[in-house]
Structure 1
């Protein structure tokens, strides 16, 4: 498809595969940032070539420097009251962000062509991927400043387990990764910030509060946006993807209430084990585009609590 200077240009999906097949997490972040910048500047023009077969890896390439254990075997991280606890907490965040990079490029490579998604879908998740790479780099540098390094503590890959379980269903991927797991991150980050601040680590608290937290809201919003889009498109008799296909105003709100939210509940119950755990960060979740009617019916029965952080 796209070409220039007499040589074939790589599509965005092909570039996404380069990131997924890069094992070193620092190089993964650097390469992702480079590709994202090219896409956003228009230097990569084509999202995917419909005539080309692509092979998305079942599991992205990963370095062997981090000892992996099951979630149940993870040691307690503590509450940031000691230097060791702060190191462990930051290490956990670094590991999460390393997977977030892969998850962002995976959704582009795995589903963009398969679902014939519009260009805005690719742009939104390129931005997410670029943010996650920056978060990883900043947190890894902070971990180094604290006297540690990525790989110094054990970690688990539960986040990728959810990705594997939703590898054949974009709606499920959007619901579970972006509207459940990422939304859960929004719920707990204010407490994490408070713990670092109480532990005397203002620098980490500031990084989380001013850079990572607000950007994670936009990542959750991307999931909500495209979950709505895909649900409404699948349910619409007028399936027209010839442009920026969005739903606006009261029509979108009404259709979301009638179609999208019940579909969200159905998918979460099918793909997520157990109820959602309160307290919920209602302010951040609302900013991301979904209110209590999305998640309250999925919460622990008779124990629903809401916090306005």
Structure 2
């Protein structure tokens, strides 16, 4: 992150708070620090103007505990379909691991609203980690009991010098993939008669992940429109509407209606945004996107099929 203001009570800037979080190995403490920093920032206790922190060292990789066995993505054992307790533990462990990395990923010069959006995302991810890790313990397991992979952070490293690529890959590919798989995961816990975990995923994690994807779409659009001289169009971008709707306790259907009611950005700008998204994902993300897609949730995030279907695995028809 570049150039945020300082906390008048502690003298700590948002950048310094973010670096403290990145350099904290314990994911529980990481989540606690993130919650505290987010509360200070969102309550307006951070002074302006923004300040440049180009002299502060940013770690290539955040500090992590060594108790989680990391393996290459292709060597990950199958999680199962949730029919057994061990399978449900493995699935939940995978979600806990993802949330632990998401805390670090959310803590990146942009308008103040950009930082506020991603401070909210970071706060959400920290809460998701805390809730899911606690649930994993209630199920008789713990974070570190299963293998995990670092595919999410590998993408972060590859996009570390390009904010546009970071937004496209982390928030519009990885976050959106989470929207695709969460309904199936929720169903597996329901079939396993684990209503507690299913409800936690369905009522807390799932709707908030939609707003995280919306934030990526919103600021990806902003950067492209700004480069075209259309930065005033930022007031029309999804993300603000999505976040406000959910903060008001409304449903995914309300999100869908809010996006349908938004003004249409000029077709030339839309084409430029989507074409840039396609070229950016092809450059920074390995391989095609994998269907099936959760079109409803993606649309609620302001992310229509024209964004992702051209990047998807093409169906190969077998000869007759």
Same fold by TM-score greater than 0.5: yes
Which residue of the other structure, out of 142, 146, 167, is the alignment partner of 1:149? 142
1:35 shift after superposition: 0.4
CA distance in 1, matches of 2:184, 2:166: 27
For 2:235, the equivalent position in structure 1 comes to 246
CA distance in 1, matches of 2:54, 2:88: 47
For 2:65, the equivalent position in structure 1 comes to 63
CA distance in 1, matches of 2:124, 2:166: 19
Which residue of the other structure, out of 157, 164, 170, is the alignment partner of 2:157? 164
**Cα pair 2:128 2:205 within 8 Å, conserved:** yes
**Cα pair 1:142 1:204 within 8 Å, conserved:** yes
| 1:256-304 deviation line (CA, Å, top 9, x unaligned) | 4221000000001111111111111111000101101001111112369
Unaligned runs of 5+ in 2: 238-261
| C-alpha spacing 1:259/1:142, structure 2 compared with 1 (3 Å) | same
1:235 shift after superposition: 2.4
1:77-226 to 2 correspondences below 5 Å:
77-105=79-107, 108=108, 116-226=109-219
1:71 shift after superposition: 1.1
Unaligned runs of 5+ in 1: 109-115, 305-309
CA distance in 2, matches of 1:153, 1:51: 38
1:217-296 to 2 correspondences below 5 Å:
217-236=210-229, 246-247=235-236, 250=263, 252=265, 254-296=267-309
CA distance in 2, matches of 1:55, 1:251: 42
CA distance in 2, matches of 1:303, 1:247: 39
Superposition RMSD on alpha carbons, in Å?
2.1
Figure out how many residues of one structure are paired with residues of the other and give that number: 289
**Cα pair 1:68 1:156 within 8 Å, conserved:** yes
**Cα pair 1:87 1:146 within 8 Å, conserved:** yes
Report the TM-score when normalising by structure 2: 0.85
Higher relative contact order (CA 8 A, sep 6+): 1
1:10 shift after superposition: 1.7
CA distance in 1, matches of 2:211, 2:60: 27
Per mean C-alpha deviation after superposition, the further-off stretch among 247-256 and 20-29 is 247-256
CA distance in 1, matches of 2:124, 2:58: 22
| C-alpha spacing 1:256/1:94, structure 2 compared with 1 (3 Å) | farther
Q: Secondary structure at the match of 2:235?
A: coil
| C-alpha spacing 1:151/1:229, structure 2 compared with 1 (3 Å) | same
CA distance in 2, matches of 1:148, 1:292: 38
